[in-house]
Structure 1
Amino acid sequence: MSDSTQPYRVLARKYRPQSFGDLLGQDAMVQTLANAIKRGRLAHAFLMTGVRGVGKTSTARLIAKALNCVGPDGQGGPTIDPCCVCEPCRAIAEGRHIDIIEMDAASHTGIDDVREIIEAVRYAAVSARYKMYIIDEAHMLSKQAWNGLLKTLEEPPAHVKFLFATTEVNKVPITVLSRCQRFDLRRIPADVLTAHFGRVAQAEAVNAEEEALALIARAAEGSARDGLSILDQAIAHAESGDGAPHVTAAQVRDMLGLSDRGSVRRLMAALLEGDGPAVMAMVRDQHELGVEPVALMRGLLETAHAVTVAKAGRNAPDPAQSVEEREALADWASQLGFGALHRLWQLLLKGHDEVATAIMPIEACEMALLRVVHAASMPDPGDIARMLAGGALMAPEAAASAPVASTQGSSARLPQRVEDLVELLWQAGRGQLAQHFHDCAAIARFAPPELALRLTRPWPHGDFARDLAMALKDVTGGAWQVREAGAEPVEPTLMEQEAARAEQARSAILATPVVQAAMAAFPDAELVEDDPSAQWSIAT
C-alpha cells in the first residue's frame, strides 16, 4: 500500500520513543536501568509514575524490549540499547508479541482479571526471555484485585516481570509499592520539548517559528504527548505558503486562546503605574479580541512570577521570551522589591481564582485588577511601621513644628525593656511569637539590637532565634542579633516574673491582720483573684 493511501497517524503515535535514546528528560532513570541490566540486578516488578505524557507506558515497552532483545544475530542478551531489528524487538514495537501482555486496568479492574494473570504466570514464556505483564493505569485496579496479586507480585517465577504505569501513585497500595522498583518520571523541560518539536516539524516538512514551538512547549506543561497533539493541531491550523505548512507564533496564540505577550506586558506596566483607566481599556480590548479573562489573569501571573525569579537571580533564559520581554522583566526586577512582588502575586492569584469561578468573568477581572491598581498606590506596610516607629507620620501641624531627628536618634525606635519588646510584637500582629517569648524566653543579655536568651520550652516552628530576629527586623527596621545563651546566667521569664510578683502580693495580703482574722474565722476560705487587675477577695 502506498504512503498516500495509508491512514494518517497522529504525531503522538508516530513519534513514540523506540529506544531509550528517544526518551526525553529521563536520564536518571535510564542510567539506573542501564546499571541494573549491566550488573544483572533486575527487579521482578517495576512501577512508573508521573504526569500524563511523560513516557510511562513507552518506558514499560522499552524495558520489555531491553530485557528480551536477542540482537541482529540472535545471540544477544539483555541490553539498554535494544537493536529494534530482531524479531522480539519488532513484535513488541508492533504490539503482537505473545509473551508481552498489556492490560488496561481501567477496563480490567476486578479480581477475575487478576486471577487470569495468576494462573498464567505458572507457564514459561513461549518465545521470549521473560514473560512480561504491562498494566497501564494501575491505580484503577480494585482493592480485591491488588490483594489477589500481592503474593504473586512478591514471589513471581523467575521468567516473569511486572510493569505498572500510573499517574496517581498515591492510590496504589503501600504493600504493592514496597514490592516494586519505583521510577518517578519527571516533567519534560520546556526547552527539551521545544527542541523535540523542532525536529518533528522538520521531519514532517513543516516550517515552524521558534517562538511558536516554545509556546506549544509551554502549553504542554511537561507532557510530550500533549505537546505533539497541540503541534498536530497547529499544523492543521497553519497556512501553506510554498507548499509546506507554516506555523507562526500568532497562529498558535489564536489557536490556544492566549493573550498576546506584548499586551500582557503593557497591562502589567499600567498596573504597576496605578493607571486605572488604562487598565480598564486594555482589559476590554483584550476581551473584544476573544481573550478569556482567566487567560489574561494567568498571563499576568506568569509575568509576576517571571519578574520575581529574575530578581532572585535565575540566569537561564526562557526560550518563549522575546528580547523585549527579557528587558522589561529585568527593568521591573531592578525597581520592585520582593515584598511588593509577593503582594502583587497574592493579589493576582486571588483575582485569578475569583475570575475562574465568577458568573461575570470580565467584570470580576476588572474588579480584581482595579484592586491591584489601588494597592500599587499604597505605601509598603513595613515602611509605614518604620515611619510610625520613627515618628515620621504625624499631623501636618505637628510635623511643621517637629524638630529634625538626628542620625543618632535611631536607637529611640528600639524597645528599651523586655516588656516593650513583647508589646511591640503583639502590636505588629506577631502574637504567637510574642506569647512564646513572654512565656518561655529567659533573658541572659538585653542590649538592643542584641539579645541572648534561653528557652524553657522549645519553639514548635523551627529556629526561634532566627524567627525572632526576622520579626524584630521587620518591626523596628533594623537588624537584630538574637542568639541562644550558653552557660550565662539568665533572668526568669516574664511569665515567671509575673507569677513571682503575684505570689509576693498574695503573701503580703495574707500577712495583713484583717485577712488573718478573716481566715481564722472562716478556716475553709480561700484568697482568690477577682480580675486581671489583681483585685483580691476572700471566697468562703
Structure 2
Amino acid sequence: MSSTLFGPDDAPDEAALPEPPAPEGPGLFGDAPPLAPVAPQAVASPAPPPVAAVPAATPYRVLARKYRPSNFEELIGQDALVRTLRNAFAQNRVAHAFMLTGVRGVGKTTTARIIARALNCIGPDGKGGPTPEPCGVCPECLAILADRHPDVQELDAASNNGIDDVRELRERLRYRPAQGRFKVIILDEVHMMSTAAFNALLKTLEEPPAQVKFMLATTELRKVPATILSRCQTFHLKRVPQAELRAHFTRIAGLEAVTIEPEALAMLARAADGSVRDGLSLLDQAIALGGPDNAVTTEAVRDMLGLADRAMVLELMEALMAGDTATALGLLERAHERGADPAVVLQDLLELTHTLTRLRSVPSLKDDPSLTE
C-alpha cells in the first residue's frame, strides 16, 4: 500500500464516513445545545396573545398636596400679601429678599414657590417676563412645579444651619442661573440657623447678585436677628378665618365627590385653628373614616377629634352655674367614658363662656354660622 506525505493513497472517501454524533451539553463558549430537528409534518402551535401590562397604581397624594395653590388666585386668606405682590410685579419693584412669617400651614413655603414661578415664567410663547400670573405651562413653570428646576433651591435651615452651609451657598451664588431668569433660594425655618450662619449671610443678603432672590420663611420671627429682618421685606401671613376654611373645604369635598354635614364641616374648620394644611389633613382623615360611602357625619368627626358633645357642654355649663356638683361630675364622667379629653372639655367651656358673653353684648351674632350652639 503506497503512502504520501498526507497519508495513504487509499484513504476512505469523506462521503462514506458516518455523521458525527450531535454534541451534548453547552458548547465551548457556553452556547446552548442545538435544538432537535422538527419533523416536517409537525405544525407549530400559534403563539399566545401578548398579555397587556398592568399599569402601576398611582400613589395616593394627600389633599394638602393635591390641592396646593399654584398661583396667587388660589391662595386663600392672604389678601394683603397677594395685593402687595401683584402691585410689586406690575411696577417692577420686586425686592431681592422676602421674609414670610406666620403659623404653620398658612402658605409660607407655597407663597415662596409661587413667587419663584412668577419670577422665572416665560409664558406659553417663551417670550414673557416676570408676571404675577405664571402660565403654568412653560418649561420653567413645569420644572418648578415638579421640584426639579436647577435654579430654584429649597433648603431646610434646620438641617443646613451651619456656617459651612452658608459658605457653600455663597459660592454657588457666584455663578449665573443655569436655566431660568433668576436664582431663587428658599430657606425654610430660617430661625433655626446659628448666629455664625446668620452673620455669614448678612453681606450676601444685603447686596446679592442681580440674578438672585431670597425667600425666607419662619414660624418664630422673634428668633431672627434684627440685622436680617432689616434686609428683607417682611410679610405676616395671618390665620385663615373659619368662613374661608369652610368654603375651601366644601369646594374640595365636592371635587372629591364626598358629602359632608355642615356641622361636621364647622368642627373641622374650628379644629384647624386657622391652618389650611391642618384642616385638610383632618378632612382627609374624616373622609377615610367615612368609608366607601364617601359621607362624613357630625358624629364621626366628633369621635375622631375627641370632642365633647355640644349638648353635654351646655348641660355641664348649666350644672356649674346652678352649683350642682353631683350632676357636673356625672357629666364629666360620661364625657370621659366617650373618650373626650378633659382639657378639651375645659376648652369648650371657655369657648362657650366667651360666646355667651359676646351674644349678651351683641345679640345679632346669633346668625354667625361659626357659632354652632
TM-score, structure 2 normalization: 0.83
Residue 9 of structure 1 aligns with which residue?
Answer: 61
Note if 1:264 corresponds to 2:313. Answer: yes
Pair 3,79 (structure 1): closer, same or farther in 2 beyond 3 Å: farther
Note if 1:67 corresponds to 2:116. Answer: no
Query: In 2, Cα distance between the equivalents of 1:76 and 1:314?
Result: 54
Q: What's the offset of the Cα at 1:191?
A: 1.1
Identical amino acids, percent of aligned pairs: 56
Query: In 1, Cα distance between the equivalents of 2:56 and 2:369?
Result: 36
Residue 211 of structure 2 aligns with which residue?
Answer: 159
Cα offsets for 1:53-78 (capped at 9, x unmatched): 00000000001011111111111111
Note if 1:45 corresponds to 2:97. Answer: yes
Q: What's the offset of the Cα at 1:275?
A: 2.5
Residue 46 of structure 2 aligns with which residue?
Answer: none
Pair 177,3 (structure 1): closer, same or farther in 2 beyond 3 Å: farther
Q: What's the offset of the Cα at 1:4?
A: 7.2
Query: In 2, Cα distance between the equivalents of 1:74 and 1:106?
Result: 37
Given the alignment, which residue of 246, 268, 273 partners 1:221? 273
Number of positions where the alignment pairs a residue of Structure 1 with one of Structure 2: 320
Residue 140 of structure 1 aligns with which residue?
Answer: 192
Given the alignment, which residue of 316, 326, 333 partners 1:277? 326
Q: 5 Å matches for 1:338-417?
A: none
Query: In 2, Cα distance between the equivalents of 1:55 and 1:319?
Result: 25
Kept in 2, the 8 Å contact 1:211–1:320? The answer is no
When the two chains are superposed, the root-mean-square deviation of aligned CA atoms in Å is 1.6
Note if 1:293 corresponds to 2:345. Answer: no
Q: 5 Å matches for 1:237-252?
A: 237-241=289-293, 245-252=294-301
Given the alignment, which residue of 97, 112, 122 partners 2:164? 112
Kept in 2, the 8 Å contact 1:68–1:129? The answer is yes
What secondary structure is seen at the aligned counterpart in 2 of 1:240? Answer: helix
Kept in 2, the 8 Å contact 1:211–1:319? The answer is no
Q: What's the offset of the Cα at 1:278?
A: 2.1
Residue 255 of structure 1 aligns with which residue?
Answer: 304
Amino acid at match of 2:176: A
Pair 225,266 (structure 1): closer, same or farther in 2 beyond 3 Å: same
Unpaired segments ≥5 residues, structure 2: 1-52
Larger relative contact order (C-alpha < 8 A, sep ≥ 6)? 2
Amino acid at match of 2:322: E
Pair 2,257 (structure 1): closer, same or farther in 2 beyond 3 Å: farther
Q: What's the offset of the Cα at 1:277?
A: 2.6
Q: What's the offset of the Cα at 1:314?
A: 7.3
Q: What's the offset of the Cα at 1:103?
A: 0.6
Q: What's the offset of the Cα at 1:312?
A: 3.0
Pair 270,3 (structure 1): closer, same or farther in 2 beyond 3 Å: farther
Kept in 2, the 8 Å contact 1:215–1:320? The answer is no
TM-score, structure 1 normalization: 0.58
Amino acid at match of 1:255: M
Given the alignment, which residue of 180, 203, 207 partners 2:232? 180
Q: What's the offset of the Cα at 1:281?
A: 2.1
Given the alignment, which residue of 332, 341, 359 partners 1:310? 359
Unpaired segments ≥5 residues, structure 1: 326-540
Pair 5,281 (structure 1): closer, same or farther in 2 beyond 3 Å: same
Cα offsets for 1:78-126 (capped at 9, x unmatched): 1111111111111111111011011111111101111111111121112
Pair 214,253 (structure 1): closer, same or farther in 2 beyond 3 Å: same
Query: In 2, Cα distance between the equivalents of 1:275 and 1:114?
Result: 64
Kept in 2, the 8 Å contact 1:54–1:225? The answer is yes
Q: What's the offset of the Cα at 1:288?
A: 2.0
Residue 371 of structure 2 aligns with which residue?
Answer: 321
Q: What's the offset of the Cα at 1:276?
A: 2.6
Amino acid at match of 1:157: P
Amino acid at match of 2:82: V
Residue 54 of structure 1 aligns with which residue?
Answer: 106
Query: In 1, Cα distance between the equivalents of 2:315 and 2:62?
Result: 38
